[in-house]
Structures are given as C-alpha cells and as structure tokens.
Structure 1
C-alpha cells in the first residue's frame, strides 16, 4: 500500500465527481432507482429497474473542453481511480494492485473513489 503523503490516488485538484454506470436491478431492491432524467438505451421491463453502479476495472477518458485535452484515469478492480499521464500508460505496480490507497485513511479512500474535473475547486488531500 502507498503510505506516501500526496500519492496520486489522494492528491487531486478540481471538482470531485463520482462516475457511475447504469445497471439492472430487481424492482424492490434496497438500491435507489435511477432518476427519470437519466436516459438508458433499453427500457427496463417486468420486475427490473435501473440503478447506478461503480465503473468496472478499466479506463475512463474525460474530454476537458476548456484546456482541449484528455484527462485519463485507470479504474481499479476495487473502485479507485488513478490519474494517468497523457500517454495513458498505467504504471505496472498500479495495474498489479501493488500500489493502492492507504486503507487506514478514510479520507484518502474517499478521494481515490472520485475523479476530478478541471476547475477552481480547492485541493483535495
């Protein structure tokens, strides 16, 4: 685990956002249903409904309109986001799970579960 103060999992600048994906659930589950203002490609029928779930392991690319550049993240299997350099290469120790957020610091885990969009928000630590 990374015990370095200021590791890339917890040092973020900008507006924090929790990226989610639509997922099917059974109606009546204890999960909240997606808002009607969010459109999904296929209407849920019968005993099904849509909810929001964390992204799966993989990549998340965000286009920053103002700076005209891509912001790249690697989503770990545990639901954490690691900011990547512009070339999008995942450090091998992050991909293997050798480097993770510090589990003894809940604030770091919360920050690592978010991505940040460019803006004038205060620095997250």
Structure 2
C-alpha cells in the first residue's frame, strides 16, 4: 500500500524508465516485465546516463530534440511536448548541439526525469551530477 501513487520509475529505481533488455546493468536486480529494476536509484541514474552518452557518442545524437526523440519515440509518447519541456528546462534550443559535459548531462537527465516521473517526483541535477562523477561517466 505504501507505493500507491509512486511512479513506477521510482519504485524500480529507474528514473528514466529504461525498458527491459539483455543489458547486464550494474545494480540491475530484476524487471517488472516492461522496465528494468535497480537496487538503488544511483544505479538507475547511472544506466540512464550511460544510455544517453551512447546516443551522443555512438549515434551522433547531439541535440535535445534528437536525443529525446530516440528515447521517447512518437509511437509511445508526446515527443514534441517532451522535447520542448526538456529544452526549456535546460535553457537550450532543441535543435542546437549540446556539449558532452557533466553539467549538461545532469540537466538533461534531471529534466527528462520530470517528464518520465512527473515534476513532483523528478530527480535533481545534483543527484545526477553526483552519480556521473562517482562512476566517472564523463
């Protein structure tokens, strides 16, 4: 009963709602058949950041618009609203290249978590930055 009303992403320690995959994420404990579950929120944040860095480096998706469109495709989401929210929250254009920096990716993940979890449950930039630095992701 204590979890009623808590977004699934928080119940799963998966703030960006990463879908189940064969990836052997650090801290992965199970799945709920649709989304990965992590032992701690930090491991869920780490997985999200690693995914987004892969989009940036391997897939050459360097704008908020391109990153969010891959993460949340129109077949499942209101992608244009998602892109608009994240770009505005970050204070950048949706179509301008963003730098691969700790600060930028902390803002990106925090803003995306507002959409994935709901603004009142979103994680903050400090949490993301702490995870990025602790795990040496950027």
Q: Output the TM-score relative to the length of structure 1.
A: 0.32
When Rg is computed on C-alpha atoms for both structures, the one with the higher figure is 1
Higher helix share: 2
